[in-house]
Amino acid sequence: MNKSLREYGGDVAIGAYGIIYRVAMLFLMIVSGLNQGMQPIVGYNYGARRYDRVLKVLRQTVVCAVCVTTTGFLLGQLFPRQVAMLFVDAADGAAAERMISTAAEGLRIVLCVFPIVGFQIVTSNFFQYIGKPHKAIFLSLTRQMLFLIPLLLVLPPHLGTLGVWMSMPIADGTASLLAAVLLFY
């Protein structure tokens, strides 16, 4: 990621990604907490063959996770400049404005499918909790490796920094679609 950003956007793009990453992680840490709360409930009820409870907890956790990531999405879509300004010293003048503009553009693009990322993460963990580690590992790898790395090799040479930003939501969306297929079929 940083290699592509340095090559196609320089230090400003790397700094902007730092802002985007921190914002995304703020919401993903909440989703992680939801997953940790779901784990013992799902494990206990799955072991007790209370599948109705397992599905109920899964649904509730997915809804909560999607609400959390949707909040991040809305923040990134409606107030990207204001969010970026929280991380940049405005006294830096033109350099600060470049960083804010780059981060704001990146926030809008990177977080454009963020609502469904909550679903993908919960689903991946759910498979681990019900004793299906192969599906869990596969889903965990899809988002950040299987889809993201090839996209980072293909898109940036043609689209520059925009290609780096676009690779993340495309990987997230594809991984979420795959998670839905594995969950429902």
One-letter amino acid at 45 equals N
Structural domain that includes position 27? 2-184
Structure tokens at 177: 């679609």
pTM of the model: 0.91
122: its two tokens: 């919960």
pLDDT at 21: 97
> 113 is written with which tokens?
């499918």
Q: Could you say which DSSP state residue 88 is in?
A: S
Residue-wise pLDDT tens for the chain (185 aa)? 889 999 999 999 999 999 999 999 999 999 999 999 999 999 999 999 999 999 999 999 999 999 999 999 999 999 999 999 999 987 778 889 999 999 999 999 999 999 999 999 999 999 999 999 999 999 999 988 999 999 999 999 999 999 999 999 999 999 999 999 999 98
Q: Which residue type does 132 have?
A: K
What's the one-letter identity of residue 6?
R
pLDDT at 92: 78
Which residue type does 105 have? E
Question: Distance of alpha carbon 103 from its chain centroid, rounded?
Answer: 16
Nearest to 111 by CA among 163, 30, 169: 169
**Closest among 185, 180, 182 to 66, alpha carbons compared:** 180
Give CA–CA dist 83/30, Å, rounded. 18
Look at residue 181 in the predicted model and tell me its pLDDT: 96
Instruction: Give pLDDT, residue 1.
Output: 84
pLDDT for position 128: 95
What is the crossing angle of helices 161-184 and 94-110, to 10°?
20
Per-residue model confidence (pLDDT) at position 171: 97
- 118, 62 contact by CB (below 8 A): yes
* The total number of structural domains that make up the chain: 1
Tally: H helices and E strands in the chain:
8, 0
Amino acid at 144: Q
- Give the number of other Cβ atoms within 10 Å of residue 157's Cβ: 12
